[in-house]
Structure 1
Amino acid sequence: MDALNQTRVTEFVFLGLTENWVLEILLFVTFSIAYVLTLLGNALIIVTIVFTLHLHTPMYFFLSNLSFIDLCHSSVTVPKMLEGLLLERKTISFDNCIAQLFFLHLFACAEIFLLTIMAYDRYVAICAPLHYSSVMNIRVCVQLVFALWLGGTVHSLVQTFLTTRLPYCGPNIIDSYFCDVPPVIKLACTDTYLTGMLIVSNSGTISLTCFLALVTSYIVILVSLRKQSAEGRRKALSTCSAHFMVVAFFFGPCIFLYTRPDSSFSVDKVVSVFYTVVTPLLNPLIYTLRNEEVKNAIKHLRQKQIFS
């Protein structure tokens, strides 16, 4: 609490993505379209799964949760970024900065855990199909989702505590377009090496552990597919390849950003745009364009709406 009482900085100033106003307008238009499509795409998946009875399975239950997380994750940073692209002076209050940092890590960590759970779900479905209904029943699915939100909250609280315990008395310029732990702690009026290492250890351990668990599960799945029929292999590979694409798009930037104590923020900004703007947009496209069940369900719901 002493560190918080010494805080003199009341707001932070973002440098944003660029100082070229023409490029800012182009980025504003591009990211506005991407954000609207992200909201519509993920909302469409959630509505389709909720109102389609035959999609009430563990895989689609987790997919609807992924869409919800993506919708929230992009909403933490993108609206503020769009506002900044239109303003000459891009500011955020200290409290709002900490809130943005907290929710950013909450949703990012929840997505990491959810993608790991989805890999486990596919592992059970493909490698132990006879036990799937008993292992992945609705009670277990709800417990796993509760656990991922609990884990994400604990992780986010740790990151937020490590950040707010530091004194901030100036400067207050963040070389980014949103508040994240690495650029914020750089502004603390004290040595942050130990705090930085604790933050990297916390985020890096979660990202790398979950990523290794994912890779291991997919290796086991690929080995087990040799015993499947040609049609079984095709369906399993289609589902798993879509999931692995999402994993690669999300884990790659996370591991790049949060496993290094020292960063080049100009490079980090490009990578951050990818996982805060592009990945939440790609997820619904990957899962709907490659999934016949979801496409047919959307078509069916549209026809019911038309004829009702």
Structure 2
Amino acid sequence: MPSYLEFEKSVADLEGKVQELRTMNRDDDVDVGDEIARLETKANQALADIYAKLTPWQKTLVARHPDRPHAADYIDQLVEDFTPMAGDRKYSEDSAIVTGIGRFRGRRVAVIGQEKGHDTQSRLKHNFGMARPEGYRKAVRIMELADRFDMPVVTFVDTAGAYPGIGAEERGQAEAIARSTDACLRLGVPNVAMIIGEGGSGGAIAIATANRVIMMEHAIYSVISPEGAASILWRDSARAQDAATSMKITAQDLVKLSVIDAIVPEPMGGAHRAPDIAIRDAGNKLESALAEFDSMSHDEIRQHRHEKFLAIGRNL
């Protein structure tokens, strides 16, 4: 059974009863098929009702769901012959950012993904998806490689933000983020960013300054976390729900503001309930986004990207 969020309690109760009845049906040969079907219908309707009116804070919780598919899952299912590449050739390897080359539906692509990990061991290995400077310098290395060999760049964004530790700051975190953002802008090949969970602050924009920015339906994209904004604005992180609402961090808000270009609908109840379907649909949107640039020259691709970001906020 899936892990339930606090606001999904009614669904959890119904699906728990369904599981109990199924166990009873197996153990006691009691025919409760009609009751199971009734409860399943009721649970599905409850889930649909909840997800039809999620608040920005509830979407934040869905975006952070521990069972939500991560960058590694998207790469495994969408990219064939993936060859990982490690190290920034300056300091060390940073596992928070996964990079490599492979084939996506017949195209050679360079892939950059922020990986959070699925369990305690992998989360520690990947530092919960929070990259250090060497991670962003590795991303720059891969982008330059992609430009040299005429490969589109695909990025999977999922981070609460860049790692704020002392060591990262000593090694030039801000400079590394700025250079990574600049590398995105300088690319002569198309780049498409897919925000699959959290798109947090400069840690996200460093690899998401793309020709096309696409968000999963229940992902979030923000300049700071709701908790961080609440601490700054009201000196009270408990007001994170108010901050989430005010900051316009949902895909639905951001597409209206032209910050992002498209939304990928998620299966009912979020991508974690049917990850294969969510990843397939994301791949379809990614494929169509890359196809838009097939006839463009390198200069036209750069100009398209520059105009996209210069236009944000001009018509508000």
Give the TM-score of the pair, scaled to structure 2. Answer: 0.31
Give the TM-score of the pair, scaled to structure 1. Answer: 0.32
Higher strand share: 2
RCO higher in structure (CA 8 A, sep ≥6): 1
